């Protein structure tokens, strides 16, 4: 049995009792049962961050005797101990995951992207957004796939410690990149069981109190989470981190750390706080399963934390993003059209998705259904100009805009 299987079985072992009493539903055997849209589901999550060594002495001093170092807060673990922050189990009643329509893996739709999610909150997901991929090979057997993204997640400790831990992603973290993912079908004949992974960017809020100011953290390298046994949407399973090493976490805000032993310490945004060594996210888990999830997370902590990086970057410039979560189907809006003296038809195209590849197609016989790609557009804004030289001989032309050739 490989490590991945052991980890999956171990995380699921504490909830077998729950699974046994849950009514069984035969999963659909095709992605076509799931057109573009959203899955809305409760979820649980937990994380552990090992602080950078430069902060260890200061935080040991200012957190001594506080609730963060008291096991009575969680009845299981210390939220802070020996330079390690371990969150309680966090809960979100309405995590949203956006899906695209299915497509053939390895085809142009995977590269050029498809619209994913339901309105409001749609966006285009392309293969280029999947910065870190699982170790498994990309399917080349004609199996189908679906683009996904973590549309909305706001995990809080509202059912556990009430001290203020929070993890946000998607539209809840509007300055972070899209948390893109993909679901890969098993075979061309049967999509399920399928494999799934996400590149996750989060905003983490640590609880303040006493000498500890509000601290917000972000990762600039994606956290890779994956699972290999999806049988439906939304799946009921635990996504497990699979990065080769821990993921650095940086201060997302300027702040001042008050240390009575050495004086105030100003901290600039982009300063290394520590490294995320462990993360788990249980999809389709309710608030009644928190204790089982937290117990298993503690077991996972002892055996499967990611290895720390020896020399992570200690200071970076954090780039803010503005993902388009209000994207719509590609539409062609032509304005300012005219004919040149030599007979070419010149027009301006609006409503283009910026920085994405768009295919302008044309036909002289709309009823035939035969379209020809006449231009590949990659605009830096939402507009572009095009001159159709074939209009000299084709006095009737229809145009459309496509995301694939």
pLDDT in tens, 95-120: 999 999 999 988 777 877 889 999 99
pTM of the entire predicted model = 0.80
Q: What is the pLDDT of residue 6?
A: 40
Residue 47 has pLDDT above 90, yes or no: yes
Residue 129 has phi, psi (to 5 degrees) of: -80, -15
Buried b (16+ CB within 10 A) or exposed e, 198-210: bbbbbbbbbbeee
Q: Which residue has the higher pLDDT, 370 or 156?
A: 156
Find the mean pLDDT for residues 275-283.
Answer: 93
Contact 148, 116 (CB under 8 A): yes
Residue 257 has pLDDT above 80, yes or no: yes
Q: What is the pLDDT of residue 29?
A: 67
Of 52-61, 251-260, 266-275, 340-349, where does mean pLDDT reach its minimum?
340-349
Categorize the per-residue pLDDT at 17 as very low, low, confident or very high, splitting at 50, 70 and 90: very low
Q: Give the integer Cα–Cα distance in Å for 45 and 30.
A: 29
Per-residue H/E/C for the chain: CCHHHHHHHHHHHCCHHHHHHCCCCCCCCCHHHCCCEEEEEEEEEEEEEEECHHHHHHHHHHCCCCHHHCHHHCCCCCCEECCEEECCCEEEEEEEEEEEEEEECCCHHHHHCEEECCCCCEEEECHHHCCCCCCCCCCCCCCEEEEEEEEEEEEECCCCCCCCCEEEEECCCCCCCCCEEEEECCCCCCCCCEEEEEEECCEEEECCECCECCEEEECCCCEEEEEEEECCCCCCEEEEECCCCCEEEEECCCEEEEECCCEEEEECCCEEEEEEEEEEEEECCCHHHHHHHHHHHHHHHHHCCCCCCCCCCCECCCCCCCCCCECCCCCCEEEEEEECCCCCEEEEEECCCCCCCEEEEEECCHHHCCCEEEEEECCCCCCEEEEEHHHHCCCCCEEEEECCC
Residue 7 has pLDDT above 50, yes or no: no
Q: What is the pLDDT of residue 305?
A: 81
Q: Give the integer Cα–Cα distance in Å for 70 and 65.
A: 7
Q: What is the pLDDT of residue 134?
A: 95
Categorize the per-residue pLDDT at 73 as very low, low, confident or very high, splitting at 50, 70 and 90: low
Residue 12 has pLDDT above 60, yes or no: no
Q: Which residues make Cβ contacts (< 8 Å) with residue 110, sequence separation at least 6?
A: 103, 127, 145, 147
Considering the chain, what is the average pLDDT of its residues?
A: 85
Contact 167, 150 (CB under 8 A): no
Residue 15 has pLDDT above 60, yes or no: no
Using one digit for the tens of pLDDT, what is the confidence trace for 162-193?
A: 889 999 999 999 999 999 999 999 999 999 99
Q: Which residues make Cβ contacts (< 8 Å) with residue 173, sequence separation at least 6?
A: 201, 202, 203
Nearest 5°: CA angle at 302, between 277 and 221? 10
Residue 13 has pLDDT above 70, yes or no: no
Categorize the per-residue pLDDT at 62 as very low, low, confident or very high, splitting at 50, 70 and 90: confident
In the chain, ranges of CATH 2.60.40 domains: 333-402
CATH class of the domain whose range is 333-402: mainly beta
């Amino acid at each position: 049995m490989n490590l991945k299987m052991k980890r999956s079985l171990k995380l699921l072992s504490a909830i077998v009792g729950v699974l046994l009493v849950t009514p069984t539903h035969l999963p659909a055997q095709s992605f076509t049962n799931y057109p573009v849209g959203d899955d809305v589901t409760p979820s649980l999550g937990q994380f552990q961050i090992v602080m950078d060594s430069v902060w260890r002495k200061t935080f040991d001093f200012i957190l001594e005797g506080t609730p963060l170092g008291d096991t009575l807060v969680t009845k299981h673990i210390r939220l802070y101990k020996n330079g390690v922050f371990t969150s309680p189990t966090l809960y979100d009643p309405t995590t949203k995951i956006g899906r695209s329509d299915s497509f053939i893996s390895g085809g142009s739709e995977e590269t050029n992207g498809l619209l994913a999610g339901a309105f409001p909150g749609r966006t285009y997901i392309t293969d280029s957004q999947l910065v870190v991929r699982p170790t498994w090979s990309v399917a080349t057997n004609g199996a189908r796939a679906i683009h996904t993204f973590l549309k909305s997640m706001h995990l809080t400790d509202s059912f556990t410690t009430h001290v203020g831990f929070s993890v946000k992603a998607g539209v809840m973290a509007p300055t972070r990149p899209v948390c893109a993912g993909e679901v890969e079908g098993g075979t061309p004949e049967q999509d399920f069981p399928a494999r799934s992974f996400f590149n996750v960017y989060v905003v983490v809020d640590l609880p303040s109190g006493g000498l500890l100011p509000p601290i917000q953290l972000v990762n600039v390298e994606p956290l890779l989470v994956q699972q290999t046994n999806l049988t439906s949407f939304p799946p009921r399973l635990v996504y497990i981190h699979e990065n080769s090493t821990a993921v650095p976490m940086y201060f997302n805000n300027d702040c001042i750390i008050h240390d009575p032993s050495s004086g105030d310490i100003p901290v600039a945004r982009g300063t290394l706080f520590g490294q995320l060594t462990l993360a788990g996210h249980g999809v389709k888990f309710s608030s009644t399963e928190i204790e089982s999830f937290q117990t298993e997370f503690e077991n996972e902590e002892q055996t499967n934390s990611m290895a720390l990086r020896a020399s992570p970057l200690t200071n970076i410039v954090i780039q803010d993003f503005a993902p388009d979560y209000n994207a719509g189907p590609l539409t062609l809006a032509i304005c300012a059209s005219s004919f040149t003296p030599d007979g070419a038809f010149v027009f301006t195209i609006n409503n283009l998705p910026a920085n994405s590849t768009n295919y302008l197609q044309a036909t002289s016989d709309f009823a035939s259904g035969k379209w020809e790609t006449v231009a590949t557009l990659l605009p830096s804004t939402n507009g572009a100009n095009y001159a159709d030289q074939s209009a000299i001989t084709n006095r009737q032309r229809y145009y459309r805009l496509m995301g694939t050739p």
